[in-house]
Amino acid sequence: MMYPFLTLDDETEIVHSDMLSDNTVKVYIEKPDEKKGFLHASCYIPGYRWEDIDGFTEKDIERFQEIIQYEIATKH
């Protein structure tokens, strides 16, 4: 099951899973796109291992990682 985490001003949705069996949490990001339908990427934390990136640039991923790191740091 995925749970809402953040919605950014540009309609990017960030959701997360429960703790997985390998002690990671999946963070899934998607954004509506007129041409592709949705852009998406998955990040596994801790460790910030990115997978299944489709349509986002390296700069986008860096920004998303900063957002995730900031939100985690401010929640604890």
Mean pLDDT of the chain: 95
Q: Determine the length of the chain.
A: 76
pLDDT band at residue 76 under the 50/70/90 scheme: low
Neighbours of 56 (CB within 10 A): 20
3-state secondary structure 30-72: EEEECCCEEEEEEEEECCCEEEEEECCCHHHHHHHHHHHHHHH
Residues contacting residue 6 through CB under 8 Å, at least 6 positions apart: 13, 14, 67, 71
Q: At which residue do the structure tokens 């489709």 appear?
A: 54
Domain boundaries, position 17:
2-75
How many domains does one find in the chain?
1
pLDDT band at residue 28 under the 50/70/90 scheme: very high
Give yes or no for residue 75 having a pLDDT over 80. Answer: no
